[in-house]
Amino acid sequence: MVHAHNAQAHNESVECQACGHGNISGTDSCDECGASLVVEPSVDGESAALQNPLLRLRPREPECVDRSATLADVIGRLQKRNVGCVLVTSHGEELVGIFTERDILYRVAGLIDHAAAIPVESLMTPSPSTLRPADPISHALHLMSVHGFRHVPLVDDDTRPVGVVSLRDIIRFMSKSVGTA
């Protein structure tokens, strides 16, 4: 936050934008009407775009599998549905894990011959970080940058999966937002 007097350092009074009253420099609120004299810094288009709710990304419906699904089933679903992850649920309800393309690269080596017998639960990332659809895009971007995620599950209040946001979704949204700003 920047006080209005910082912008007008040489003036002894600061005019209230709400009522026009002259106030002593350094005052946070107008003596006449009580309006704030604090000037908020402007937000550029990119920063403003990141404050939009995740719903603005139009997240795709999640591909969900039960924790007992086999590795072979999950790999087949990833390929057939052309998605980068599946959300692992307990009896089709509560989110218990996530399994991604990256998991195939790092966790499946040497197991492919037994893929039909290995439950995804043994290879998934348990209790993944989640967000709500109303959370700002910046929260997803933060999780992705800090933890190296490419996908963030969206859940409802009962931790049931309702969507997935990918890094690709955010990049697509940002390129449209910056292009129109």
Instruction: Give the per-residue pLDDT at 179.
Output: 67
CATH of the domain at 162: 3.10.580.10
Check whether residue 70 and residue 156 sit in a common domain.
Answer: yes
pLDDT in tens, the chain (181 residues): 434 434 434 447 888 776 788 988 888 888 887 877 876 544 555 577 889 999 999 999 999 999 999 999 999 999 999 999 999 999 889 999 999 999 988 888 778 888 899 999 999 999 999 999 999 999 999 999 999 999 999 999 999 999 999 999 999 998 887 765 4
Cα gap 98→124, rounded to integer Å: 5
Check whether residue 24 and residue 89 sit in a common domain.
Answer: no
Cα gap 63→97, rounded to integer Å: 12
Check whether residue 31 and residue 111 sit in a common domain.
Answer: no
Q: State the angle between helix axes of 167-180 and 137-147 in degrees (0 to 180), rounded to the nearest 10.
A: 130
Check whether residue 31 and residue 74 sit in a common domain.
Answer: no
Domain count, the chain: 2
CATH of the domain at 7: 2.30.30
Cα gap 9→7, rounded to integer Å: 6
Is residue 158 within 8 Å of 90, Cβ to Cβ?
no
Check whether residue 32 and residue 59 sit in a common domain.
Answer: no
Instruction: Give the per-residue pLDDT at 4.
Output: 41
Check whether residue 114 and residue 176 sit in a common domain.
Answer: yes
Check whether residue 89 and residue 153 sit in a common domain.
Answer: yes
Check whether residue 24 and residue 84 sit in a common domain.
Answer: no
- The domain in which residue 8 lies consists of 2-41
Check whether residue 33 and residue 55 sit in a common domain.
Answer: no
Check whether residue 108 and residue 158 sit in a common domain.
Answer: yes
Check whether residue 9 and residue 77 sit in a common domain.
Answer: no
